[in-house]
Amino acid sequence: SSEKYISTVKYRLDYITADFLELPLDEITRFQVSSKVKEIVAKGTLETATRCLRLLNAVFNFAIASGYTEKNPCILVGELIPEHEVQSYPCLPASEMPEFFRRLEQCNAFPITKVVLKLACFTGTRISELLKARWDSGEIDFENKVWLIPAYRMKRRKELMVPLSPQVYDLFMALFHTRSDDGFIFKHTREPWKHMTSETPLAVIKRNGYANEMVTHGFRSLFSTYANESKLFRTEVIDYQIAHVNKTTKADKTSKIYNRAEYWPERVELMNWYANEVYKWMN
């Protein structure tokens, strides 16, 4: 939830700035930041060090852009963090997805929650990006068969175009024709003016027997792994479509211009192909 995310961000910033929290921005040195990062690394929590430093770096970049300071003491400090594998989210292999969807169809869950899980699998989008979708934003473009996720909902604040495969188009169209208003597409059951929380679809996954085996983020891993292993599409196209930034994409931190339609024809082909694969698992 957003409250949980805010709490996590605050915790990480408090953690990395504990030794110089009271200092003015201009007095914070690279040595101080480096010392704290080394301390976190020494505990073996490399991913924590990475995420804490990333947040602090963002704070200083904002401060520079806003005219509060002219320096960023976080520059190059990341070199102190050894390369490491990011802890992956639990994810079922493709071979188990037919059984996953069989249980989903038979379980006692709200139909809208089942649709959320299907769309998460079809699109590979982050669950928060999906659950906060609205009709009145105009992001679902039925005419052009595109879902344009606004930048403010994206992790890296860059809008994402998701091709609407026939299966995804039909699911959204069915929701459109049965909508109660033009607000959130996926509503909170007891407070319909709010969007469904991410805990709701996750709870269904757990109730169906997949605790510690699958989470909503796992659909993104599944999409990436299955598409890459097919050898039908370039890695950069796959990564670009799910807004997974790495050295192969053009949406990384060194990019000056972000083109939301980059690789578009290949992405349309990718999403249609993958939707057909997912449809086979569902049937």
The domain locations on the chain are: 2-80, 94-282
Report how far apart, in Å, the C-alpha atoms of 155 and of each of 103, 110, 125, 151 are: 31, 28, 11, 8
Distance, C-alpha 169 to centroid of its chain: 21
The pLDDT value recorded for residue 247 is 44
Instruction: Please state whether beta strands 146-149 and 160-163 pair in parallel, antiparallel, or not at all (unpaired).
Output: antiparallel
Distance (Å, whole) CA 237 – CA 254: 18
Contact assessment for residue 90 and residue 218, using Cβ atoms and an 8 Å cutoff: yes
Whether pLDDT at 7 is above 80: yes
Residue 233, both tokens: 């599409």
Residue 257: pLDDT over 70: no
The answer to whether 149 touches 123, Cβ cutoff 8 Å, is no
- pLDDT digit string, tens, across residues 134-184: 999 999 999 999 999 998 888 777 899 999 999 999 999 999 999 999 999
pLDDT at 157: 78
pLDDT of residue 87: 58
CATH number for the region 2-80 comes to: 1.10.150.130
Share the mean pLDDT of the chain.
91
* Percent of the chain residues topping a pLDDT of 70: 93
Is the confidence at residue 280, as pLDDT, over 50? yes
- Domain boundaries 94-282, CATH class: mainly alpha
Answer whether 147's CB lies under 8 Å from 140's CB. Answer: yes
The pLDDT of residue 203 is above 70: yes
User: How is residue 120 written in tokens?
Assistant: 């998460």
Given a cut of 90, whether residue 250 has pLDDT beyond it is no
pLDDT at 252: 45
Distance of CA 101 to the CA centre of its chain: 22
Among 73-87, 120-134, 144-158, name the one with the lowest average pLDDT.
73-87
- C-alpha distances (whole Å) from 86 to each of 92, 167, 177, 215, 254 are 18, 32, 41, 16, 21
pTM here?
Answer: 0.72
